[in-house]
Structure 1
Amino acid sequence: MSSNDPLASPDLTSLIGSRICHDLISPVGAIGNGLELLSMAGSGGPEVALISDSVSNANARIRFFRIAFGMASSEQGTPRSEILSILRDIYGETRIKLDWAVNVDCRRAEAKAAFLTLLCLENALPYGGEIVVTRSDGRWQFTAISPKLKYDEALWAVSTSSAPFELSPKNVQFALLPEALARLGRRLALTQTQGTLALTY
């Protein structure tokens, strides 16, 4: 294998992501447990409720990022119930309606690529919209729909053709997605029309 082969060396980015999420999940969970004890002791109130909501949001994001940015071994699986739980906590109170129409469990590497794809599609839906996720005969399809769809051609070129582009931290998923797909032996294909953005791999 050449040194440019994504499978030829350890995925250091994912190792770092896994380490950060692993180290954060326990203290955030402990804060949540402490807030629950305060509520049971009658020390609740709007302040505690606000902190509790923030902890729940942080916990959901860590669980999501653990899959999107963490390690994904070829043997590891991700139950559909876990995916639905994470996505419900992430998108349940947002302007994005997500329909995860994949009715089976999937490999962790597939879940990783799917979550990175969702992060990319969020960029196209700044005013909200709908994302439908399906899988048929091993092929994944993501369809984003919005009357105010935002399509940044230069940004998406990073994921479809590895075109050079100066990314900001909030858009790092566009560079990580093709690497995740390469480890699956896949490549992203994109179709954009008025109000719709469809991705397949």
Structure 2
Amino acid sequence: MTSSTDLAALLCSRLCHDMLSPVGALTNGLELLRDEKNPDMRKRCLELLEQSAKISADKLKFFRLAYGAAGGFGETVPAEEPQALIAGLVSANERLSLQWAVAEPMLSKPVVKVLLNMSAIAIDALLRGGTLAVGAERNGGATEIAVRASGPRVAFDPNIGKALDGSLPESELSGRTAPAHLVRLLAAESGGGVQYALTPDALVMGAILPDG
């Protein structure tokens, strides 16, 4: 059985993997700026640095709440916080658009983590862009979450699906599948469950998390 330490290490690996590109872009941009003398090119370098810095900050804020203990000591988080974090990731790719359908003003921390991690999985599946639709509502003492990724090409690693439904051996978990495993654990801890469906042009993931 995967220990909490092992899972934390895998999630850290995923975080480092996702941060490598924007941080690398910052480093490259600074090197170019140091040697560049043309005013127009220096201006372009600064614009790229600003863009990479924003992407880096948005991702760190996202991972802090998706994996960590952000949101203070309360049991709930305002719904606009995960909405802003997901919108930040979507804005980094002009081929992506976000549809937000969460009516609840406050969400429990487990619900927020499931929602964020499912959204990240969905974004990764939209290789050629598309629409990320995120919804959540309370129904009969539980919160129902639905995340849909639709676009011209949806790429979904079968092992992520296995991590979601629990059929992936824990010995085979990786940084790529750890977020899906976390989603399943969070749902199971609340007495709920996770399911997904995949077609050539859409990935739909759903979770039910009972209160308490």
Q: TM-score, normalised by structure 1?
A: 0.70
In structure 2, C-alpha distance between the alignment counterparts of 1:167 and 1:11, rounded to whole Å: 10
Residue number in structure 2 paired with 1:31: none
Q: Are 2:201 and 1:195 equivalent residues in the alignment? A: yes
* Identical amino acids, percent of aligned pairs: 22
Task: Judging by fraction of residues, say which structure has more strand.
Answer: 2
Structure 2 partner of 1:146? 151
Q: Do the aligned residues in 2 keep the contact of 1:74 with 1:109 (CA within 8 Å)?
A: no
Shift in Å at residue 83 of structure 1? 2.3
Query: Contact conserved, 1:78 with 1:105, CA < 8 A, in 2?
Result: yes
The code of the aligned residue for 1:71 comes to A
Structure 2: distance between partners of 1:98 and 1:183: 29
SS of the residue aligned with 2:145?
strand
- Kept in 1, the 8 Å contact 2:82–2:116? The answer is no
Question: Quick check: 1:58 aligned with 2:63?
Answer: no
How has the CA–CA distance of structure 1 residues 12 and 128 changed in structure 2, closer, same or farther, with 3 Å as cutoff? closer
Q: After superposition, what is the alpha-carbon deviation per residue over 1:39-97, rounded to whole angstroms, capped at 9, x for unaligned? A: xxxxx933333322222111111110011111378943221222222222211131222
Structure 1 CA distance for aligned equivalents of residues 114 and 175 of structure 2 = 18
Q: Hey, what's the Cα distance between the residues in 2 that align with 1:121 and 1:96?
A: 11
Distance 1:169-1:163 versus aligned 2 partners, 3 A rule: closer
TM norm structure 2: 0.67
CA distance in 2, matches of 1:142, 1:57: 22
Query: Any conservation in 2 of the 1:162–1:175 contact (CA below 8 Å)?
Result: no
Query: Following superposition, which runs of at least 4 residues in structure 1 exceed 4 angstroms of deviation?
Result: 9-12
Alignment-derived partner of residue 37 in structure 1: none
Q: CA RMSD in A?
A: 3.3
The size of the alignment, in residue pairs, is 172
> What is residue 35 of structure 2 aligned with on the other side?
none
Query: What does 1:41-56 correspond to in 2, within 5 Å?
Result: 45-56=43-54
Deviations 1:113-137 (A, max 9, x none): 1111112223322222212111232
Counterpart AA for 1:125: L
Provide, for residues 109-163 of structure 1, a one-character-per-residue CA deviation record: whole Å limited to 9, x for no partner: 2111111111222332222221211123221111221231223333311111242
SS at match of 1:97: strand
Which runs of 5 or more residues in structure 2 are unaligned? Answer: 16-22, 24-41, 208-212
What is the alpha-carbon distance in structure 2 between the residues aligned to residue 102 and residue 11 of structure 1? 33
Query: Conserved in 1, the CA contact under 8 Å of 2:134 and 2:146?
Result: yes
Report what 2:8 is aligned to.
13
